[in-house]
Chains A and B, each alone.
Chain A
Amino acid sequence: GAGVSQTPSNKVTEKGKYVELRCDPISGHTALYWYRQSLGQGPEFLIYFQGTGAADDSGLPNDRFFAVRPEGSVSTLKIQRTERGDSAVYLCASSLRVGGEQFFGPGTRLTVL
């Protein structure tokens, strides 16, 4: 596709449930990033992939959060035992090369009831 796509656009779940959020980067982009944005705040970094490997996962808040990128393209952010505090917009971005301009997807709005 022309840009970064994310699915679903909205996800409502109950506390304690497991969720998966998907990101399709721009074709050919080797770097992929996940951020989380709470209302009225700027996005906060979660994890960065270069190819298939997580180059920096220092932003993941705890071990309930995990992300994969098995073939170096699509990435999935997985959240176990969701909590109400996980409610936010989860943004994905990709860049053509290390240190390049980052292009963002429309985000997934996660609501944990």
Chain B
Amino acid sequence: KQEVTQIPAALSVPEGENLVLNCSFTDSAIYNLQWFRQDPGKGLTSLLLIQSSQREQTSGRLNASLDKSSGRSTLYIAASQPGDSATYLCAVAANFGNEKLTFGTGTRLTIIP
């Protein structure tokens, strides 16, 4: 059974710093990996999707990498802003034709102005 772990559970950094969020998964046979942000009391906003054949994806100040063989992904946020404060979740899809996502418990990020 796939298990997804995100460490740390919470992180606080001063505004302007670059930071890295970590995600690990136990079964490397994944189809894709998706990063989301969730604001308190809200749904999930998709940030980046990495296919299993890709090594990284970039969107603005965000960069996600994937090392499937070691079961790891990182989300890099450059020049953090207070608006980046949210919970960040990673999720993996098992196989094409089995698209249900298995989520980690998230990292709660606070950017200190």
Task: List residues of chain A with CB under 8 Å of any chain B CB.
Answer: 4, 31, 33, 35, 40-45, 48, 56, 58-59, 91, 93, 95, 98-99, 101-107
Contacts and interface: CB of A to CB of B under 8 A. Distances in A.
Interface string B70-96: 000000000000000000010101001
B44 A99 contact: no
A42 B103 contact: yes
A98 B106 contact: no
A44 B44 contact: no
Contact of B43 (A33, A44, A98, A105): A105
Given A98-B97, A99-B96, A104-B36, A45 B102 contact: yes
Task: Find the residue from B4, B32, B89, B100 having the highest chain A CB count within 10 A.
Answer: B100
Interface in B14-38: 31-32, 34, 36
Chain B interface, DSSP helix/strand/loop, else mixed: strand
Task: Find the residue from A41, A42, A58, A99 having the highest chain B CB count within 10 A.
Answer: A42
Contact of B105 (A42, A56, A103): A42
Contacts of B32: 99
Interface string B43-78: 111100100000000000000000000000000000
Task: Find the residue from B43, B101, B102, B103 having the highest chain A CB count within 10 A.
Answer: B43
